[in-house]
Amino acid sequence: MSVTAPQGFRAAGVAAGLKSTGAPDVALVVNDGPDDAAAAVFTTNRFPAAPVLWSRQVLGGHRLKAVVLNSGGANACTGPEGFGDTHATAEHVADQLGIGAIDVAVASTGLIGVRLPMDLLLAGATAAAQALSADGGPDAARAIMTTDSVPKTTVQAGSGWTVGGMAKGAGMLAPSLATMLVVLTTDAVVPAEVLEPALRAATGASFERVDSDGCLSTNDTVIVMANGASGVTPTAEEFTAVLTAAATDLAMQLLADAEGSTKDIAITVRGAASVADALTAGRACARNNLLKTALFGNDPNWGRVLAAIGTTDAAFEADQVDVAINGVTVCRGGAIGDPRDGVDLTGRAISIDVDLRAGTEQATIWTNDLSLAYVHENSAYST
Amino acid sequence: MSVTAPQGFRAAGVAAGLKSTGAPDVALVVNDGPDDAAAAVFTTNRFPAAPVLWSRQVLGGHRLKAVVLNSGGANACTGPEGFGDTHATAEHVADQLGIGAIDVAVASTGLIGVRLPMDLLLAGATAAAQALSADGGPDAARAIMTTDSVPKTTVQAGSGWTVGGMAKGAGMLAPSLATMLVVLTTDAVVPAEVLEPALRAATGASFERVDSDGCLSTNDTVIVMANGASGVTPTAEEFTAVLTAAATDLAMQLLADAEGSTKDIAITVRGAASVADALTAGRACARNNLLKTALFGNDPNWGRVLAAIGTTDAAFEADQVDVAINGVTVCRGGAIGDPRDGVDLTGRAISIDVDLRAGTEQATIWTNDLSLAYVHENSAYST
């Protein structure tokens, strides 16, 4: 049921012709209230797309009644004209719904540096408004897909309230063309001052720890809307836990569908002096092309793990670090450990456990391998 | 003539059986004086290989009489036993040459985390010492190749003196398995206090601006030896210029031979507030897998250039940045510029020119594309 699983939300997904394939490409999610609390996190890329610039302004009020999303064009690096296109889209949707443009967030995904065909987009937005339905969540999830092979949705139950969500993305967190767009909805009663930190906690533990190809998109957007339709007010802890479960479920779906990937790799760094050190060391592995190609080749090349960690400023002594791959401690004390022949990498799931022996903190970063299909897909994307 | 082009150097390259192919794998370069000034730069990776640990100690004295190098094994992450192997190699070579172990640097390249077969290596070192010749430079250059498709050598003439050099490496600067090893020789009279800053200037303008795959090796080593055999003392400026020319020549050979690459990409960032900003922005492009795959696919995807630069803290305003690819200004003011159809990417050489319009500094970073062959070569390396 996706974003329409909680009470008081309607959604739709339609084909507006932005995609040459004729697949659905415009989605609309509407909050029918009674509350309109909202929060969002956006890309930190310094070339934010027009819809990001617009939606940041909208979300500054911590209120939101609708989100219109399109695939088939990112509307990024399109200058003042592109911003005008986003503004016109929000105005048009607001007119359809009888609300103000400032109540409407916009999110876009697709090729950078190309203007959107506004006649098609606005006609699609009209059609989406007419198609809105309390069962429309799955259609909306399909309409935001780009290189995704499957739609990504989640439903997580609280006590008398629900969190629903949809996501698109096939790179991650740091995705580029494979922008990550996420809409989360809930019928719990959650004031904005609770919603904002809950969303930061949820994304910090999920999307921000998935690093498939290290590239940061111009369009990444995560929006949550809370309408209080259930009449139930969870504690901040309860709500944060369920929202985090929803975000984590979507993040793992993004990881499993990463462009061209053949492996899901969980890199856990333990024994760190701080969580920041653990994340730094994990990310260095997740972004090391030599390690990622080795794992694609089913090669438990632990030397590349050390070489990656060796580029960071995390606290450790080189002769203290252990590395286990799929349970085999192939490196002990920064040197040769158990035989690498014992490591079975034939499955999709790979775990790399690094013990820095420098403290008591730990963190996990998820990534994918660097495959022939990744290169093929990303070299052929815009041609 | 490689490292034996200057007077007073002998070299050799022999097959010791470290490589299963039977190709040459042990090289020796000897300085016959009269001077023995030397300088070096080493990897900053925090898991330095045993030969790096040893050679750092040796070069601490700014004097050197010989370098023994092997391919077929990196002797990295091999613990105290691996350090003992390096020490024993230096001792053995010193005995052969009638000098002290502290006069002998060691460099190794190959797979990380595997002990070297010392019986083969020491026998090879003996053979290399017996084969030393004033014509041995080319043999030495061949013996340090790993995934290199061609040996890399250079000869640069000063006024009455010469700089020679050899290199191996096929990733860079930041290479991992494709460790970069470089030996430079000169018969100029160059005291250590001139040699050290000259080498730093030469590497800073050459190897450190080549960033093929963003990975930093455990074994990278650049050594220069000056024996004064010509009797000519150049000024520091003259010597630095010729040494830089030699280093740049070798760096461009490394770039052209990068593993699986189909493009040589020069990313020039101008209009920067500082050289550091220009380098940061250029490196962000050089390490962006989505951009590198696009270029492999002959796709002038300037949006990926902006998305990469947008992740940095370089000074710029998003609506001021221009990007030209092979001479066509495809992005102007952070938005759509001239038609991308006008960009011809079919050749091997690609230039990306970014104007940040934030200052007067500039710098160029060289990199390669991310190709199917890169993934294939690096996934199959150790299997």
Dump pLDDT digits (tens) for A272-287. Answer: 999 999 999 999 999 8
Q: Is the pLDDT of residue A252 over 60?
A: yes
Closest C-alpha to B352, from B299, B275, B276: B299
Q: Is the pLDDT of residue A89 over 80?
A: yes
CB contact under 8 A, A290 and B215: yes
CB contact under 8 A, B213 and A290: yes
- pLDDT tens digit sequence for A99-130: 999 999 999 998 888 999 999 999 999 999 99
Residue from A83, A176, A368 to probe the interface with B (highest B Cβ count within 10 Å): A176
Q: Are A159 and A238 in contact (CB under 8 A)?
A: yes
**Residue B260, both tokens:** 């699986």
Q: Which of A298, A301, A379 sits opposite B294 (nearest CB)?
A: A379
> Which residue numbers of A belong to the known binding site for substrate?
146, 168, 179, 259, 378, 383
Pairing of strands B26-31, B66-70: antiparallel
Q: Are A220 and A254 in contact (CB under 8 A)?
A: no
Q: How far apart are CA B253 and CA A122, in angstroms?
A: 54
Q: How far apart are CA A211 and CA A169, in angstroms?
A: 12
Question: Could you tell me the pLDDT band of residue A256, with boundaries at 50, 70 and 90?
Answer: confident
Written as one letter, the residue type at A315 is A
Q: How far apart are CA B132 and CA B13, in angstroms?
A: 8
Contacts of A73 in chain B (CB under 8 A): none
Whether A179 is catalytic is yes
Q: How far apart are CA B258 and CA B262, in angstroms?
A: 9
Contacts of A306 in chain B (CB under 8 A): 47, 77, 112-113, 218
Nearest residue of A to residue B293, measured between CA atoms: A379
Alpha helices in chain A (DSSP H): 50-59, 79-97, 118-131, 137-143, 192-204, 236-256, 275-286, 289-296, 302-309, 372-379
Contacts of B319 in chain A (CB under 8 A): 79
CA distance A57 to chain B (A): 18
- pLDDT tens digit sequence for B182-192: 999 999 999 99
Share of chain A above pLDDT 70, in %: 96
Q: Is the pLDDT of residue A327 over 80?
A: yes
Q: How far apart are CA A289 and CA B325, in angstroms?
A: 25
Q: Is the pLDDT of residue A315 over 50?
A: yes
pLDDT of residue A227: 98
pLDDT of residue A170: 61
A-B C-beta contacts closer than 8 Å: 225
Q: Which of A216, A306, A311 sits opposite B77 (nearest CB)?
A: A306
pLDDT of residue B212: 67
Closest C-alpha to A381, from A192, A111, A96: A111
The residue from A86, A89, A179, A186 that is catalytic is A179
pLDDT of residue B287: 86
- What are the distances in angstroms from CA B341 to CA A75, B133, B329, B330? 19, 55, 11, 9
Pairing of strands B66-70, B104-108: parallel
By CB neighbour count within 10 A (0-12 exposed, 13-18 middle, 19+ buried), where does B315 fall?
middle
Q: How far apart are CA A122 and CA A116, in angstroms?
A: 10
Q: How far apart are CA B233 and CA B159, in angstroms?
A: 9
Q: Which of B176, B308, B382 sits opposite A307 (nearest CB)?
A: B176
Collapsing DSSP states into helix, strand and coil, what is residue B233? Answer: coil
Estimate to the nearest angstrom the gap between the alpha carbon of B132 and the chain centroid. 25
Whether the upstream peptide bond of residue B34 has omega within 30° of 0, thus cis, is yes
- Tell me what the mean pLDDT of segment A253-280 comes to: 92
pLDDT of residue A176: 37
Q: Are A323 and B60 in contact (CB under 8 A)?
A: no
CB contact under 8 A, B45 and A383: no
CB contact under 8 A, A382 and B81: no
In order of their start, the domains of chain B are 2-256 (3.60.70.12), 264-379 (3.10.20.340)
Compare A258 and A221 and report the one with higher pLDDT: A221
pLDDT of residue B380: 66
B137: phi then psi, degrees, rounded to nearest 5: -55, -50
Pairing of strands A37-42, A221-226: antiparallel
Collapsing DSSP states into helix, strand and coil, what is residue B23? Answer: coil
The residue from B109, B154, B179, B364 that is catalytic is B179
Taking chain A, what is the end-to-end CA distance rounded to the nearest angstrom? 35
- pLDDT tens digit sequence for A199-225: 999 999 998 888 766 667 889 999 999
HSE toward the beta carbon, residue A207, CA cutoff 13 A? 31
Q: Are B29 and B124 in contact (CB under 8 A)?
A: no
pLDDT of residue A214: 64
Intervals of chain B under pLDDT 50: 172-177, 381-383
Q: Which of B213, B301, B378 sits opposite A294 (nearest CB)?
A: B378
